[in-house]
Amino acid sequence: MKKVLFVCTGNTCRSIMAEGLFNSVVAKEDEAMRQFKAYSAGISAFDGACASDNAYSVLKSWGIDISYHKSKRVTQQDVDSAFLILTMTREHKRALLQLFPEAEDKVYTLKEFAYDDCESMNNMSIDITDPYGMNEEVYRKCAIEIRQAIYKVLEKLKLKYSGQ
């Protein structure tokens, strides 16, 4: 099993949505792609919080259940066991590398890994904006942005691991 770790601030919005979206898509892929499993954690998370209501609601409307989720702070074990670590922002990446400099070769922002260059991003921000405290529509837009990047990540992983 190759662990893909998604990291944000509190592990109640963006990173858990990324975890749920990634695992949902991978579950429908061929056996070679099902070797990947997503997990999530937060740089400043309080252990044990549920996913935000709006994150839960948006993903549920897409048939993805994240009701099991309890937030957790990123640990050395998380970093060591991860095959790939994708952060939601450049600041998350910077903070993570300050805490775990040995992980430099496997830490990227989600969009940095997903898109080869800034041109292919169509003027999008390199960061996934935090929807915390906003309405459900803001969460939906955030989830769509994450989902688009995850599809690109999976295309890259397929090329490398499925031979497709």
Residue 47 annotated to the active site: no
Q: What is the CATH number of the domain that holds 93?
A: 3.40.50.2300
Q: Is the dihedral of CA 120, 125, 130, 131 positive or negative?
A: negative
Q: Which domain holds residue 74?
A: 2-161
Q: Please enumerate in sequence order all residues whose Cβ is within 8 A of that of 68, keeping only pairs 6 or more positions apart, or say none.
A: none
For the record, the structure tokens of 159 come out as 């090329």
Q: Are 4 and 38 within 8 A, CB to CB?
A: yes
Which amino acid is it at 34? Answer: R
Number of independent structural domains in the chain: 1
Residue 162, judged by CB atoms within 10 A of its CB (0-12, 13-18, 19+), counts as: middle
Per-residue pLDDT of 43-60, as tens digits, reads 999 999 999 999 999 999
Closest CA to 112 of 88, 139, 91: 88
3-class DSSP string for 36-93: EEEEEEECCCCCCCCCCHHHHHHHHHCCCCCCCCCCCECCHHHHHHEEEEEECCHHHH
Residue 8 annotated to the active site: yes
Residue 34 annotated to the active site: no
List the catalytic residue out of 13, 14, 78, 142. 14
The helix or strand, by DSSP H or E, that contains position 112, with its residue range, turns out to be: helix 110-114
**What's the pTM value of the predicted model, to 2 decimals?**
0.94
Per-residue pLDDT of 117-161, as tens digits, reads 655 555 568 999 999 999 999 999 999 999 999 999 999 999 887
List the catalytic residue out of 50, 90, 94, 130. 130
List the catalytic residue out of 8, 78, 140, 142. 8
Q: Is the pLDDT of residue 105 over 60?
A: yes
